[in-house]
């Protein structure tokens, strides 16, 4: 078997039509967001679910949709924005121009942006003018980041990552210079991160989750989701990629848990490898979309390399095939372009490469095995649960014992190709999963693509079981030159509602209201035209998060965007002000904080605005309560407190007869909290 190396600076790639194909691409020296295994099959999709607005929410998006037909360009593309304000756009620093920006973490006034070549720290205290703090070159894709106090954690999975952060890569198949795992930095001086330790893992760290467990103030925990091939035991002792029946210690079918002592982070180590995938089998999934079938036939006619991944044919990206062919030429001592014999050698080798990436398969007498790892695990310590987005399944995990997470339930869906990430609503009664169909590097929002594929799936949580409610997919069709599929985002603390900002790669940024889990609706967006007008070239929103009043977007090719909410028919200024009253000390992409609102007049008025929007309280009653709040706000001291208590008591008495009694009780609690705060 031949290996393939690459120039570390070449991180662009043309297509990633499936997640297992991404593994072949890695062997071909290219990069990928998704993990390296998929479970394609040939099942029909369910009928489309309409993306209706929640009851009482009236939204009137611009028509025709201005996102369709935007002008292309790297830094001069056309833009469309609705119900958001673009505060600033900052291009990447010179060392990272042309490299892939990945995920974000936040600490104090800083946004920490991963990049396949290292980390970039921005000071966003002035959202209109972010300032670079440090550009730290340390290649090892994907460089997903998380932060806790003075510690920064960075994922490394690429075969070229080095322990010394050198940019020369690693050429050898087995090398003790290679880093695949978690890097740990001390950022006490954030202008000069100090590399203090690393924890090597058998499959590297594609992404990771930082768990701050409420019962442990001496340690933090890292859940490692490693999706690359298992490294040889000669490189890291104890690594094995065999099936569990042959090797009970196999590095497959498990995650890694790293314990990091806060007093001595250099002593961080793997403390367990929970096998949360036991007894799961490969779920049914769908086949190719109409445009993909047409592209496959065209590729076959021109002699492209076609591979079969678990029953589904896919086109090997030309960049990967050319690099593989080049190495075949070099291995036989030849020069010049590859010959027909070289092409034949590659065609013969490709099934072996795919088999290596696929890992253990069934014995033919039963179903194929299920997932071997997760892509993301979102922990919600306040409720003791985590949502695992794990290849062919969405999982609910019990994290009460941080070193031994335990699977409570799992769901699969033939419309989902690759369960990628998870987000809980604030009270933990629902969870939203994303499907990264095509691995993030393919155009999966074309007009002919089914609206259930590459979408979000929303479930309610009932006694640790997940019950499906609806799908949501970006409603604006994108071009074949734009990679587009559901990707990363976060809740926004609009009180009394479940509002999520989400990145869709070159589909842009979308603001979704999923308060009614059966009827999610888009209420705002920001989008740009294609990076390249002639071919698919990576770009767009890798991830976007709300943090202390601003929305920060990691743009794969174009740098960093900062946006803000603006009042609209779907969201009032009071709701925005109440959200912005929530202040976080830090935020990590896979660590969900519980939102708690301080006592403010904006909070009470936000609930009144919602009651008015949804008809949850009589209009005359709402007018009187608004007037009462205004009068109380003009008072001070005991007089204000007495007025607010009287108002709260009146609201409580009227809750039973209201159209939305639960929201009226929330209003009463908000007014009472104002009184008790002595405001």
User: What tens digit of pLDDT does each residue of 606-622 get?
Assistant: 999 999 999 999 999 99
DSSP category for residue 126: S
Beta bridge partners of 560: 90, 554
- Strand, helix or coil for residue 256: strand
Sequence length of the chain is: 679
DSSP category for residue 534: S
Structure tokens at 467: 């019950």
**Res 41: pLDDT:** 30
CA–CA dist 170, 159 (Å, integer): 7
CA–CA dist 459, 383 (Å, integer): 17
Range list of β-strands (E), 79-178: 79-82, 84-90, 101-107, 110-115, 118-123, 131-137, 142-148, 151-156
Structure tokens at 619: 């209009």
Lowest mean pLDDT among 82-91, 157-166, 182-191, 315-324: 315-324
Structure tokens at 573: 């200024």
SS3 content of the chain, % helix, strand, coil (to 5): 20, 30, 50
Return the higher-pLDDT residue of 671 and 367. Answer: 671
| Mean confidence (pLDDT) of the chain | 91
Beta bridge partners of 406: 398
Are 460 and 429 contacting, i.e. CB atoms less than 8 angstroms apart? yes
Beta bridge partners of 457: 433, 471
Question: What does pTM read for this prediction?
Answer: 0.91
Q: What are the φ and ψ backbone dihedral angles of 185, each rounded to 5 degrees? A: -120, 145
Region 132-156: what's the mean pLDDT?
A: 97
**Res 57: pLDDT:** 79
CA–CA dist 210, 174 (Å, integer): 29
CA–CA dist 368, 484 (Å, integer): 29
Q: Is 24 a residue whose pLDDT tops 60? A: no
Beta bridge partners of 641: none
**Per-residue DSSP letters for 569-590?**
TTB-HHHHHHHHT---SEEETT
The set of residues, in sequence order, having a beta carbon less than 8 Å from that of 111 and lying 6+ positions away, is: 104, 105, 121, 122, 124, 130, 547, 552, 560
Are 507 and 540 contacting, i.e. CB atoms less than 8 angstroms apart? yes
**Backbone region of residue 400 per phi and psi (left: phi > 0; alpha: psi in -120 to 50; beta: other values):** alpha
Q: Assign 7 a pLDDT band (cuts: 50, 70, 90).
A: very low
Q: What are the φ and ψ backbone dihedral angles of 116, each rounded to 5 degrees? A: -60, -15
Structure tokens at 342: 């070289």
Q: Is 579 a residue whose pLDDT tops 70? A: yes
Is the sign of the CA dihedral 204, 209, 212, 215 positive or negative? negative
CA–CA dist 312, 420 (Å, integer): 20
DSSP category for residue 381: G
- The CA distances from residue 200 to 117, 224, 268, in Å, are 18, 11, 10
CA–CA dist 477, 70 (Å, integer): 11
Q: What angle do CA 629, 632, 634 make, to 5 degrees?
A: 115
Q: Is 21 a residue whose pLDDT tops 90? A: no
Q: Assign 26 a pLDDT band (cuts: 50, 70, 90).
A: very low
CA–CA dist 216, 400 (Å, integer): 11
Region 330-357: what's the mean pLDDT?
A: 89
Candidates 597, 647, 599, 656; CA nearest to 622 is 647
Region 632-658: what's the mean pLDDT?
A: 96
DSSP category for residue 90: E
Is the sign of the CA dihedral 201, 202, 207, 213 positive or negative? negative
User: What tens digit of pLDDT does each residue of 503-561 get?
Assistant: 999 999 999 999 999 999 999 999 999 999 999 999 999 999 999 999 999 999 999 99
User: What tens digit of pLDDT does each residue of 439-457 get?
Assistant: 999 999 999 999 999 999 9
Cis peptide before 64, with omega less than 30 degrees from 0?
A: yes
Are 429 and 459 contacting, i.e. CB atoms less than 8 angstroms apart? no
CA–CA dist 396, 273 (Å, integer): 17
- Strand, helix or coil for residue 266: helix
């Amino acid at each position: 078997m031949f290996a393939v190396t690459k120039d570390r600076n070449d991180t662009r790639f043309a297509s990633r039509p499936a997640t297992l194909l991404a593994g072949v691409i890695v062997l071909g020296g290219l990069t990928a967001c998704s993990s390296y295994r998929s479970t394609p099959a040939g099942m029909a999709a369910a009928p489309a679910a309409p993306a209706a607005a929640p009851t009482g929410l009236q939204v009137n998006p611009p028509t025709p949709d201005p996102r369709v037909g935007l002008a292309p360009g790297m830094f001069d593309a056309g833009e469309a924005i609705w119900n958001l304000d673009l505060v600033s756009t900052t291009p990447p620093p010179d060392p990272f121009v042309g490299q892939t920006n990945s995920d974000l973490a936040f600490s104090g006034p800083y946004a920490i942006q991963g990049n396949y070549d290292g980390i970039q720290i921005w000071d966003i205290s002035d959202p209109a003018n972010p300032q670079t703090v440090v550009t730290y070159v340390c290649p090892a894709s994907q460089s997903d980041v998380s932060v806790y106090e003075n510690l920064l954690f960075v994922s490394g999975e690429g075969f070229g990552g080095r322990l010394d952060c050198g940019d020369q890569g690693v050429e050898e198949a087995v090398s003790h210079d290679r880093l695949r795992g978690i890097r740990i930095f001390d950022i006490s001086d954030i202008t000069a991160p100090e590399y203090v330790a690393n924890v090597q893992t058998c499959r590297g760290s594609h992404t990771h989750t930082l768990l701050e467990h409420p019962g442990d103030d001496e340690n933090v925990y890292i859940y490692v989701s490693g999706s690359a091939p298992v490294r040889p035991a000669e490189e890291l002792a104890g690594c094995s990629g065999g099936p569990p029946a042959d090797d009970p210690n196999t590095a497959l079918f498990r995650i890694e848990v790293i314990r990091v002592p806060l007093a001595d982070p250099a002593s961080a180590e793997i403390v367990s490898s929970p096998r949360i995938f036991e007894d799961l089998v490969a779920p049914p999934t769908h086949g190719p979309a109409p445009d993909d079938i047409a592209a496959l036939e065209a590729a076959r006619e021109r002699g492209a390399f076609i591979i079969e991944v678990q029953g589904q044919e896919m086109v090997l990206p030309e960049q990967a095939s050319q690099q593989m062919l080049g190495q075949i030429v070099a291995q036989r001592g030849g020069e010049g372009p590859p010959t027909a014999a070289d092409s034949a050698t590659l065609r013969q080798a490709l099934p072996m490469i795919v088999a290596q990436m696929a890992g253990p398969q069934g014995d033919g007498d039963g179903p194929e095995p299920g997932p071997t790892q997760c892509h993301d695990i979102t922990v919600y310590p306040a409720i003791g649960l985590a949502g695992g987005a794990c290849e062919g399944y969405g999982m609910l995990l019990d994290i009460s014992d941080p070193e031994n997470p335990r699977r409570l339930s799992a769901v699969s869906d033939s419309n989902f190709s690759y369960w990628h990430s998870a987000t809980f609503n604030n009270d933990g009664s629902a969870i939203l999963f994303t499907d990264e169909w095509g691995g993030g590097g393919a155009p999966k929002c074309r007009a002919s693509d089914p609206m259930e594929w590459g979408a979000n799936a929303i479930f309610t949580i009932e006694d640790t079981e997940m019950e499906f409610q609806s799908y949501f997919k970006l409603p604006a069709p994108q071009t074949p030159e734009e990679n587009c599929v559901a990707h990363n985002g976060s809740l926004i603390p609009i009180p009394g509602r479940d509002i999520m900002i989400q990145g869709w790669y070159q589909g842009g940024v979308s603001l979704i209201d999923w308060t009614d889990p059966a009827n999610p609706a888009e209420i705002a967006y920001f989008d740009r035209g294609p990076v390249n007008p002639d071919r698919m070239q990576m770009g767009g929103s890798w991830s976007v998060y709300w943090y202390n009043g601003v929305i920060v977007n990691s743009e794969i090719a174009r740098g960093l965007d900062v946006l803000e909410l603006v009042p609209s028919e779907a969201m009032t200024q009071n709701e925005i002000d109440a959200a912005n009253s929530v202040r976080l000390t830090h935020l990590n992409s896979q660590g969900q904080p519980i939102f708690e609102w301080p006592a403010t007049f904006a909070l009470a008025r936000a609930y009144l605005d919602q009651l008015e929007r949804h008809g949850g309280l009589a209009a005359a009653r709402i007018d009187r309560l608004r007037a009462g709040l205004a009068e109380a706000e003009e008072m001070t001291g005991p007089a204000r407190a007495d007025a607010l208590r009287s108002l709260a008591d009146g609201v409580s008495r009227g809750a039973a007869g209201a159209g939305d009694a639960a929201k009226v009780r929330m209003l009463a609690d908000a007014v009472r909290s104002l009184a008790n705060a002595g405001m």
